[in-house]
Chain A
Amino acid sequence: MQVLSPQFKPRATLALKDASLQAALGKARGGFVDKRAAAAAELPEFEQLREEAKAIKEHTLDHLDFYLERFEERVKAQGGQVHWARNAEDAQRIVLEICRKANAKTVTKGKSMVSEEVGINEVLEQEGIEVIETDLGEYIIQLAKEPPSHIIAPAVHKTKAQVSELFHAHHSKLGLTKVLTEVADLVNEARQVLRGKFFRADVGITGGNFLVAETGSSIIVTNEGNGDLTQTLARVHIVTSGIERVVPTLDDATTFLRLLARSATGQETETYTTVSSGPRRPGDPDGPEEYHVVLVDNGRSKMLAGRFREMLRCIRCGACMNHCPVYGAIGGHAYGWVYPGPMGSVLTPLFVGLDAAYDLPNACTLNGRCQSVCPVKIPLPDLLRELRHMQHEAKLSPWYQRAALAAWGFVASRPRLYHALTGLAVRALGWLGRGRGRFGYLPLASAWTKGRDLPAPQGKTFQEAWRERRGKSS
C-alpha cells in the first residue's frame, strides 16, 4: 500500500474541513467509548485480565520461536501448510502461488489487516483475479477504492448517504434500480450480492486474531459471519497472520477473547468465534480442501529486540484510536498508511521509516487515554515519546526546533542563569501586557495565540512567589 504519511499535515487539514467525514466521525465518537466503558465496568475481573493478558504475551514473546514451531508442527500434522514470509514481497508471492496452483478466478476475503499491510489485493488483481472483500465495511471501501480508516470499523468515515450512492453506482449493473436509504436495505443488498461471490470463490483469505500453538489453530472473530462463509465455501483457505499472534493454549486465547470484544465494540463476545485447524477431514461434507497459514514477519522479529517490543502485544482492538482526540478529529486516512491512531503512529514509523512518518508521533497530545484503555497495557505515549526522541537524535526534526531545545537545555541546566532570565522575561511581559492583562499576539508564541489569548504574567516568577510564601510561613 502506498505510504501517504509524509502528507499527514495537509491531509489532516483537509479532513478537518470535510463535512461528510466530520459528520461520520461525530456519530462514531461517543458510541465506542461509552460501550467499552460499560462493558469493562460490568466485568469486575477486567483489570486482572489485562495484567494476565500482558503476562501471557510477554511469556509467548520470550519463547516466540518455540511457539511458532509448535504451531507449525500441529498445523502440518492436521494436513495444513505453514508458509513463512520475511517481508511483504514474500507474503505476496506465497499467496499468489497458492492462488495460481488453485487456478483461482475469484478470491473472497474476510477482514485482515496483515493482508492490507503486505498488499495482497493489488497483487492478485494484477494477476487478473477478482478479489472481493466480504466484511461489509471493507466491501464499502473497496467499492470506494479507499483503504480502511479504522482497524475494526473500516468504513467508519462513510455516512449512510455515501454508502447509498456507492451501492447505486456499483450495483445498478447487477439490477439495483432504487436508491436505498435505510440501513436494513443497504445491508440486505450487500448480503444478496456477496452471497453469490461466497459460493463462486475458489480461495478464501482471512486474517488470524490468534494462533494457538497447542492445537495448531487459527482463530477469527466476526459479527457478520463473513469470515466463516469465506473459509467454509472456498476450496482453499489461506490465513494471513503476523508472527506475534501466536499464544500457547486455547485457555490463553480465551483471556484475550474476553478483552478483545469488550475493548473493540463493547460486546461481551462477538457473534462468531471460529477456531480452524486444517483442511477438510475424511468424511467431512464441507469445508476447504486446503488450509494454508502465512506467517508474516515484516519487521516484527526486529521489534522484539528493543523498546518497541511492547507493541507486539497489540491485539488490534482499536480502543486506542476510539479514545484518541486526534483520531477523533481527523479520522484514519490522514495517517496515510494501514494502521491509524495511536497504535498506527507507533507502527507506521517502524514499518515505513522515521522520516516518512515524521508527523505521526508528533500528532499526539500525550494525554494518555490510549494507554489507559489498552487491553494489553501498551505504554503508547511512552513509545511515541521515544520515537520523537529518535527523530530528534537522527536530526529529522526542524533545525529551529533542535536549536530551541538546545538553548532551553543550556539555560535549564544552569539555575542561576535560568532564574535571571525567567525573572527578566516575566517582568518584561508583565510590563508589555499591563494594559489588557493578556496578549492577542506574541512573536514565537503564535501557535498559542492563534486560537486564544495568552495571559500576561503578573510580576513574579512562580519560584520567586514560592520562596516568598515559604519565607512568610516559616
Chain B
Amino acid sequence: MSEAREAILGSIRTALKRGPLSQPERQQLESQIATPPHHTRPHFGDDLARRFAAKLESRAATVVAVSRMADASGAVVDYLDRLGLPKAVAAAPALENLEWPQGLAVRFGRAETSDQVSVTPCFAGVAETGSLVLLSGPSSPTTLNFVPENHVVIVRAARIVRHFEDAWDLLRKEAGGIPRTVNVISGPSRTADVEQTIQLGAHGPRRLHVVVVNG
C-alpha cells in the first residue's frame, strides 16, 4: 500500500506548500522529541502520597497503607476477608518473591475467567490524578488488570511521582524503551451510558484496591 502512503504524504506536502523536510529540519524535530518540551502542569502541594490516595478514593477505589513490603500480602488477605472472597488470587509473576501467607492459594500467570482476584505490582503512581501506571511484560500480564472482578495493586510510596510527565521520564530511564502496553488505571471500571447514571464494573474490575507500601 505504498501508493496510498505516497499519495497521502504528497497531499499533505501540497497542502503545506512545500516538499519533504530537509535533513537539518528533520534533525531539529528529532532533537525536540529527544528533549520533550515542558508544558504547563497542574500545581498542587507537596504531600504526594496523601493526594494520590485521596484522588483514588474519590473515584471509588480503596486504599490502605502498610509499612513494609512483607506486610503487603497480609493486606491482600485482609481485603479478601473483608469482602468474604475465597482465599485464592492470581498474581503477577513479578510478585513471586513476596512472602505469601500460608492458606492463601496464589497462582502466578495471566488471568483466567475463573479468577476473582488479581494482585499486581505497579511501575509508578501519579499523585496528580491518583493514577497507577502498570507495564506489560513477561512478569506482569495485562489480563490481570482487566479480567478479574477485583484488582489489588501494590505500589511503593517512593514510586509515587507528581505528574504524568514524571512517570514518562521514569519510563524512558528505567524501562528500556516503551513496553507493549502501558496501562494507566485511575479507579474501578465504570460507565454512564444508561441515562448518565454512573455504574461501576462495566467491563473491567468492579473494585480496585491499592496497597501503598511505605517502607
Contact of A225 among B33, B38, B203 (CB under 8 A): B203
What are the residues of chain B within 8 A of A458 when measuring CB–CB? none
Q: Are B180 and A279 in contact (CB under 8 A)?
A: yes
| Nearest neighbor of B19 in chain A, beta-carbon distance | A65
Contact A86 B42 (CB under 8 A): no
Chain B residues within 8 Å of A283, by CB: 137-138
Give CA–CA (A154, B110) in the complex, Å. 33
Kindly state whether residue A301 has any CB partner on chain B within 8 Å: yes
Contact A84 B1 (CB under 8 A): yes
For window 322-358 of A, CB contacts with B under 8 Å fall at none
In the complex, what distance in Å separates the CA atom of A286 from the CA atom of B143?
7
Expressed in whole angstroms, the minimum distance between the Cβ of B27 and any Cβ of chain A is 11
What is the CA–CA distance of A163 and B192 in the complex, to the nearest angstrom?
13
A134-B203 in contact given A43-B42, A228-B145, A268-B55 (Cβ < 8 Å): yes
The distance in angstroms between the C-alpha atoms of A302 and B14, with both chains bound, is 9
Task: Compute how far the CA of A398 lies from the CA of B183 in the bound complex, rounded to whole angstroms.
Answer: 54
* Known contacts A66-B26, A85-B4, A286-B142: A191-B202 contact under CB 8 Å: yes
A-chain residues with CB within 8 Å of residue B203 when the two chains form the complex:
134, 191, 194-195, 198, 224-226, 229
Assess whether A86 is in contact with B36, with CB atoms less than 8 Å apart: no
Of residues 205 to 228 in A, which have CB atoms within 8 Å of B's CB atoms? 213-217, 223-226, 228
Residue of A nearest to B143 (CB): A286
Contacting residues, chain B, for A155 (C-beta < 8 A): 193-194
- Residue in B11, B40, B183, B199 whose CB lies within 8 Å of A52: B40
Please, how many angstroms separate the alpha-carbon atoms of A155 and B146 in the complex?
A: 24
Q: Which one of B5, B14, B181 lies within 8 Å of A276 (CB-CB)?
A: B181
CB-based contact A225/B146 at 8 Å: yes
CB-CB < 8 A to A278: which residues of B? 180
Indicate which residue in A140, A271, A285, A297 contacts B109 across the interface (CB closer than 8 Å): A285
Would you call B164 an interface residue if the criterion is a C-beta within 8 Å of the partner chain's C-beta atoms?
yes
Q: Which residues of A contact B (CB under 8 A)?
A: 24, 27-28, 31, 43-45, 48-49, 52, 56, 62-70, 78, 83-86, 90, 94, 134-137, 140, 153-156, 158-160, 163, 183-184, 186-188, 190-191, 194-195, 198-199, 213-217, 223-226, 228-229, 232-233, 243, 248-252, 254-255, 257-258, 265, 268-287, 295, 297, 301-305, 309
Measured CB to CB, the nearest residue on chain A to B142 is A232
Contact B15 A284 (CB under 8 A): no
Give 5 A-B contacts (CB < 8 Å), ordered by A residue.
A45-B41, A45-B42, A64-B16, A83-B4, A85-B4
Q: Which of A52, A67, A258, A281 contacts B137 (CB 8 A)?
A: A281
Given the complex, which residues of A lie within 8 Å of B109, measured CB to CB?
285
Interface residue? B99 (CB, 8 A): no
Complex Cα spacing A188 to B149, Å: 12
* Contact partners of A301 in chain B: CB under 8 A: 8, 11-12, 14-15
Nearest neighbor of A48 in chain B, beta-carbon distance:
B40
CB–CB B37/A183 < 8 A: no
B150 at the interface (CB under 8 A from A): no
Which residues from A are CB-within-8-Å of B205?
A: 225
With A66-B26, A224-B204 as known contacts, state yes or no: A251 contacts B183, CB within 8 Å.
no
- The docked-state distance in angstroms from the alpha carbon of A188 to that of B143 is 20
- Give the Cβ gap from B51 to chain A, nearest Cβ, in Å: 11
- In the assembled complex, the CB of A302 is this many whole angstroms from the nearest CB of chain B, namely 7
Q: How far is the CB of A295 from chain B (nearest CB, A)?
A: 7
Q: Using Cβ atoms and an 8 Å threshold, which residues of chain A touch B147?
A: 229
User: What is the CB-to-nearest-CB distance from A56 to chain B, in angstroms, rounded to a whole number?
Assistant: 8
Q: Which of B36, B143, B182, B190 contacts A214 (CB 8 A)?
A: B36
Q: Which of A28, A31, A158, A223 has the most CB of B within 10 A?
A: A223
The answer for the CA separation of A163 and B142 in the assembled complex, in Å, is: 32
- In this complex, the member of A136, A279, A284 whose beta carbon has the largest number of chain B beta carbons within 10 angstroms is A284
Q: Does B39 contact A (CB under 8 A)?
A: yes
Quick one: given A45-B41, A251-B39, A281-B180, are A65 and B138 in contact (CB under 8 Å)?
Answer: no
The contact string, 1 if C-beta is below 8 Å from chain A, for chain B 185-215, is: 1111111111111010111110000000000
